[in-house]
A and B are shown apart, each in its own frame.
Chain A
């Protein structure tokens, strides 16, 4: 049975750009959505439909123009930037299409980064946690490689390990397999599924691929800024 408190709850969320100008454009028109703990959800829709905007709002990287957003029952509308940053750092993990690793750092350092940001000083526990996560994604051998020297599939696995570093309740993945070959894409998706089962982490995956969408528990289809399915 799902938790009573949803991990994500959106009520009438709207997002407009250029507010108050002649070129005001509303890209999200009153989104209502709930994601329960342990769900593995695909977010699909054509380009420009508002998927990424919705993902950024749920990831607290952007603020809605109107409506409410609750993360694990916590109202986010009145939080200031610092509180939002803290909530994001501790509750939400990100996996981006282009991996978004810091190229000057090794795989291990990239995975340690979220914990270092939270504690500011490195310690053995942070290192041990990062090594454990790299082991989970099968990259122990490559932990000291610079991320720029790794293959696309390996980089995506490092990104998955990094997203787990703070043990978040929610992981947002923006086209996580978009730049990977079929085999690497399958591997990455299997890995995310495994994390979802093992840790009960909620996943929201933005994808254009219906194949990937069909491997998720639920598909949310966004068209012209509205959930249609």
Chain B
């Protein structure tokens, strides 16, 4: 009966750990996926222009008040060289130059300000999978094509094949043909974002041959900040990682991981104390049997091993049931809880390593928890134990 209770206790503990770990992994992966599907992992941008104080000679500043200059649209210096350099880095998977500029989309009497991005579709689509979000037309970008958001199309009353006029901040103007409409799942983005070919954006922004940013993706998204710093050092161009630009989000992810670790620690401790208390009672109940075994030649080491093994088996058996219970509950939740459109709320991530580590840790916790009762059993005086 005791064994049944403690295995149930261990199972529930392991189930909580497995369930929480897998759920949080899924939720985090989902959040990160959502954040990173619409933005690069690292973005290279030209350093800000700064004004130096006017000096009249060594150590003499003539104008102490320095006004920050307005930041004009500038290209990254020697961006082709930087791109070629970064393409050789093994940690970096994609290098995509782009031009970002403000523009007006005009159709008859209607006009909307938009954020225009000029891209090289072949590379950029590896970073932001725009073709996946196309709801009408094609993800095609020749020099006169433009891909706009669904809501911008509705505002301007245009659809695939229609034309609209783009006017840039420099005053340049060009008539574009809508080749596709996308839905990023965000109304604000669908109203403001538009994509054109890199050369078209360069022409409209008066940046012939230049780019305003180089977007990168890396193999390990969590190493993005370290890689960004290395890129900045190697190229001299300012590199901002998604971790830096989404600092609050990343802090939240870290806080979630810390709380998960704390919960696991305390659940693990309660499991350990549960096993220990059962074994202590077991040693007291079986002290007479232990005394008999000692009288018959059982060594202290053998008694110690018996109780340590019992602790490990309790932990392992509980972890087997707990892993099944935790995994099963997660699968049930995953299937039962759906978003309004029927899609999953979080991806189901059940990695074998999670179960293996849960079982190994539970068995080790069992051994650790059994240490004190086992030593107590091994040190029992057989004479006292037999007399009861």
Contact = CB atoms under 8 A, between A and B. Distances in A.
A61 B292 contact: no
Nearest to A53: B383
Contacts of B383: 56, 61-62
A76 to B, nearest CB: 15
A117 B295 contact: no
- Give the interface size bracket for B toward A: 10 to 19
Contacts of A120: 302
Given A100-B292, A102-B292, A114 B297 contact: yes
B293 interface: yes
A221 to B, nearest CB: 22
B386 A90 contact: no
Contact of A88 (B297, B302, B386): B297
B302 to A, nearest CB: 7
Interface stretch (A5-13, A43-51, A78-86, A181-189): A78-86
A113 B295 CA distance: 11
Contact of B295 (A90, A94, A101): A94
Which among B292, B294, B300, B301 has the highest number of chain A CB atoms within 10 Å?
B292
28 contacts: A56-B383, A61-B294, A61-B295, A61-B382, A81-B299, A81-B300, A82-B299, A82-B301, A85-B294, A85-B297, A85-B298, A85-B300, A86-B299, A89-B296, A94-B295, A100-B288, A100-B291, A100-B292, A100-B295, A101-B292, A102-B289, A102-B292, A103-B289, A114-B296, A117-B302, A118-B297, A120-B302, A162-B296
A118 B291 CA distance: 16
Interface in A35-76: 56, 59, 61-62
Contacts of A59: 295
A113 B294 contact: no
Interface of B: 288-289, 291-302, 382-383, 386
A-side interface mostly? helix
A203 interface: no
Which among A89, A90, A103, A166 has the highest number of chain B CB atoms within 10 Å?
A89
Contact of A117 (B288, B298, B300): B298
Contact of B296 (A56, A81, A82, A117): A117
Contacts of B295: 59, 61, 88, 94, 100
Interface residues of A, number: 24
Given A61-B382, A82-B300, A103-B289, 15 more contacts: A56-B383, A61-B295, A81-B299, A85-B294, A88-B297, A89-B297, A90-B297, A96-B386, A100-B386, A101-B292, A102-B289, A113-B293, A120-B302, A162-B296, A166-B297
Contacts of A88: 295, 297
Contacts of B297: 85-86, 88-90, 114, 117-118, 166
B377 to A, nearest CB: 14
Interface of A: 56, 59, 61-62, 81-82, 85-86, 88-90, 94, 96, 100-103, 113-114, 117-118, 120, 162, 166
B255 to A, nearest CB: 51
Contacts of B291: 100
A144 B171 CA distance: 102
A85 B302 CA distance: 11
Contacts of A56: 383
Contacts of B302: 117, 120
Nearest to A81: B300
A193 B267 CA distance: 60
B284 to A, nearest CB: 16
Contacts, number: 51
A166 B297 CA distance: 10
Contacts of B386: 96, 100
A117 B302 CA distance: 9
Contacts of A113: 293, 296
A37 B52 CA distance: 109
Contacts of B293: 102, 113, 117
Which among B291, B292, B296, B301 has the highest number of chain A CB atoms within 10 Å?
B296
Contacts of A103: 289
A55 B300 CA distance: 21
A162 B301 CA distance: 22
A184 to B, nearest CB: 21
A62 B296 CA distance: 14
Nearest to A85: B299
A62 B300 CA distance: 15
B213 to A, nearest CB: 71
A89 B295 CA distance: 7
A96 B383 CA distance: 11
A61 B292 CA distance: 11
A96 B382 CA distance: 13
Contacts of A101: 292
Which among B288, B293, B295 has the highest number of chain A CB atoms within 10 Å?
B295
A119 B111 CA distance: 92
A227 B296 CA distance: 28
Contacts of A166: 297
Contacts of A90: 297
Nearest to A120: B302
Contacts of A81: 299-300
A80 B280 CA distance: 27
A86 B298 CA distance: 8
Given A56-B383, A100-B288, A102-B289, A94 B296 contact: yes
A38 to B, nearest CB: 23
A192 to B, nearest CB: 18
A185 to B, nearest CB: 21
A59 B295 CA distance: 8
